[in-house]
Amino acid sequence: MINRNISLNRGSYKQPNIFGYYGNFGGAYVPEMLYRNVEELRDQYLRIIYEDSFQQEFKALLKDYVGRPSPLYHAKRLSEHYRTKIYLKREDLNHTGAHKINNAIGQVLLALRLGKKRIIAETGAGQHGVATATICALKGIECVVYMGSKDIERQAPNVARMKMLGAEVVPATSGSQTLKDATNEAIRDWINHPDNTHYVIGSVVGPHPYPDMVARFQSVISEETRAQLKEQEGRELPTKVIACVGGGSNAAGAFYHFLDEESVELIAVEAAGLGVYSGHSAATTRLGKTGVLHGSKSLVMQTEDGQVIEPHSISAGMDYPGIGPLHAHLFESGRARFLSATDQQALDAAFELTRLEGIIPALESAHALAALKEIRFNPKDITVLCLSGRGDKDLDAFMKAFEVQPKNSYEQDQSVI
Amino acid sequence: MSRISQLFKKKKERILNIYFTAGFPELDSTLTLMKLLQENGADMIELGMPYSDPLADGPVIQSSGSRALCNGMTIAKLFEQLKDFRKEIDLPVVLMGYMNPILQFGFEKFCATCAVAGIDGLILPDLPEHEYELEYEAILKKYGLDFIFLVTPETSDARIRRLDAFSNGFLYAVSSSSITGKDKDFEEVDKYLSRLRSMNLKNPVLVGFGIKDRLSFQSACRHAAGAIIGTAFIRALENSASLKESVKGFMDAVLK
Ligand SMILES: Cc1ncc(COP(=O)(O)O)c(C=O)c1O
């Protein structure tokens, strides 16, 4: 019999209940074929990741290999533009160019301690695939990355990087041939290799304990932010924290140590694609309904018949039809505010940051930047914006945007699509 | 006693359960195939409800599902097709599918509609037993539906007993911890099935996944009450010029 008191404990923002629920969202909706793998992780992850030897190795790699702590940079010209004080948390300066490496390192170290000999991962834009292939190269462990065959075409440079790093890139040819299908294929691979393989999920999605585990590995972002604010501002708490949400891992990391600080306003920004109601969008909290996707109950974009919809965003990392259960809970409870930015708004925001600060952001992060226009700031506010990645991988999209709009038009006309 | 339990009471061995995807190969082939299976010696039918993201299925079944979805299959449509099927079909029929479409339809409404139509049980591989016990068991009982859990060679004895206790009708033994459609090593399967048999479970066991012909069917039947064939049957329908002949040909090859 289940102890109902335990199972009905609703979990907190920082810690799901023992069945993996944050409020109404989470759980582990996995077929029996995955039960043992998921159970092993669930039973071991907290013990392993808080062992001294794990923490030492993890922290050393984050410092010397990734280059952490990432700077908390006071973006003065951007701040002036919005008449407030904005700090950028520079995850773009991490090795491999995004926050994804924090989680990839954590999970691969964990997998090695579980005795696993083979790593699999899914990837959309390729950032998580590159991060995973990187740490696998460093550790000399086999790495297989599933990637939608459409994304393989769209993201050629990252495919080349993964191959150069020694990973096998397997095209996902089923369904819509993008991130969600790559995730399905990775899960199937895991079902077929139950003994020697660990699946490194790239965001705070998937069955319990993945959302919690990934959030913990990414929580280094807000842990550093607190310390850096203390040093730079003499206070640990900002007024606002802004982050983009694809699956939600950089946002979970940027929010984590502020989740229980009610004075801190948390703002999550989703991709609205061509417009929330255009039929080409990835704004899950606006369009999604409660459902089950990739092993957890969360908000899912789906048809009336419960078939999962292929979302759209100019940014492959935002192109996911769900969000992590923590974020569904933050949305439902009102603890975080959810905004969205269109493809065009993200492009404009990317150009704006580039011209004001000399920083080319990833298109994903540009969604968070685009939200600055939607938010009312007090000049005294201190806002931390998670700059989750750099824009090198998005030059194609930026160049196309240059072609359709002459230089500087982004400043004059925000409505062109 | 449920239709499924009656079957196992009447027939103790060589039970053949055939899986196919509703709405495949054509939107309206569902009932035709059920009748053909009944005429050609199937003991039970497992009707798959197509889903965009079928994690526990292999590529053959997934592509049959994609085709069914393209054909316009939905849960509502399926229930329309099943409205009067009990006038023609006596075999036990279980529906197999994934949680998401059912949650959208409404779990209780789904069960109620199943009961009215004459569906006997459900297989929902991504419904974990914790949620089952907490939220869904009572609803299934209310509508008299059997619920069938899966077990694998990696499932511990204690957990097998637990899942057996929750299951009604039969227990679904996946022949390896593997998605549907892959070839299996008979010897390993043998060992696993004899272990299940020695446990004296409450439910009869049907072996699924990887059964494709007479030989693998017979092998599965050595230690279990019978088997479930899915992928191989879907393959036989994929390029079928006549469903009637394809079904007869397939069933004869397995049974005769
Ligand atoms: C730079 C960057 N930011 C954000 C994301 C979105 O993922 P998440 O919401 O998990 O942070 C991605 C995903 O690929 C990414 O590469």
If you measure CA to CA, which chain A residue comes closest to B65?
A: A175
Q: Is A125 in the pocket of ligand 1 (CB under 6 A)?
A: yes
**Structure-model confidence comparison of residues A155 and A53, the more confident one:** A53
Q: Length of chain B in residues, anyone?
A: 256
**A298 C-alpha to center of ligand 1: Å?**
18
Best of A297, A305, A320 to disrupt the B interface (most B CBs within 10 Å) is A305
Residue B160 lies in a domain: yes
φ/ψ of A48, rounded to 5, equals -70, -45
Domain membership flag for residue B5 = no
Q: What is the CATH number of the domain that holds B250?
A: 3.20.20.70
State the average pLDDT for chain A. 93
Count of domains for chain B = 1
Is the pLDDT confidence value at A115 over 80?
Answer: yes
The continuous run of DSSP H or E covering A88 comes out as: strand A85-90
Cα→Cα distances A168→A137, A160, B178, Å: 12, 11, 21
Q: If you search the block for the tokens 């059912």, which residue do you land on?
A: B102
Name the residue among A175, A192, A290 with its Cβ closest to that of B103: A290
Whether residue B71 is contained in a domain is answered as: yes
Question: What distance in Å separates the CA atoms of residue B121 and residue B46, rounded to the nearest whole number?
Answer: 9
* 3-class SS of residue A240: strand
Q: Which of A89, A222, A244, A360 to mutate to test the pocket of ligand 1 (most atoms within 8 A of CB)?
A: A244
Residue B183's pLDDT band, with cuts at 50, 70 and 90, is low
Q: How near does any CA of chain A get to the CA of B40, in Å?
A: 31
What angle do helix axes B186-198 and B214-221 make, rounded to 10 degrees?
A: 30
Tell me, yes or no, if B57 is annotated catalytic: yes
pLDDT tens, position by position, B92-107: 999 999 999 999 999 9
Q: What is the pLDDT of residues A28-79, one digit of tens each?
A: 999 999 999 999 999 999 999 999 999 999 999 999 999 999 999 999 999 9
A225-A227-A232 Cα angle (round to 5): 90
Mean of the pLDDT values across residues B240-252? 97
pLDDT value, residue B178: 53
Q: CB of A228 within 8 A of CB of A72?
A: yes
Residue B9 lies in a domain: no
In a domain, B7, yes or no: no
- Quick one: pLDDT at residue B75? 98
Does residue A11 register a pLDDT over 90? no
What is the A93 CA–ligand 1 centroid distance (Å)?
14
What does the pLDDT read at residue B196?
A: 95
- Residue A317 near ligand 1, beta carbon < 6 Å: yes
A79 lines ligand 1 (CB under 6 A): no
Q: Is residue B234 part of a domain?
A: yes
Whole-number pLDDT of residue A260: 96
Which residues of A have a catalytic role annotated?
Answer: 100, 122, 388
Q: Is the residue at B92 inside a domain? A: yes
What's the mean pLDDT in B8-21? 97
Residue B6 domain flag: no
Burial class from Cβ neighbours inside 10 Å (0-12, 13-18, 19+) for residue A267 reads buried
User: What domain range includes position B228?
Assistant: 14-255
